[in-house]
Amino acid sequence: MRVRRSAHALIVREGKLLVVREAMGYWSLPGGGARPGEPLLAALEREVWEETGCRVVHPSLLALVEHPMFPNTPHAAWVLSARFEAGLVGEPVPGPDVQKLAWVPLETAAAWLSQGHPHPEVWAQVAAYARGEGRGYFGPAARTS
Domains by residue range for the chain, with CATH: 2-138 (3.90.79.10)
Q: pLDDT value at position 19?
A: 95
- Cβ pair 18, 86 in contact under 8 A: no
**pLDDT tens per residue across span 9-52:** 999 999 999 999 988 888 899 999 999 999 999 999 999 999 99
**Total residues found in the chain within this entry:** 145
**pLDDT tens per residue across span 94-130:** 999 999 999 999 999 988 888 877 677 778 899 999 9
The pTM of the full predicted model, rounded to 2 decimals, is: 0.90
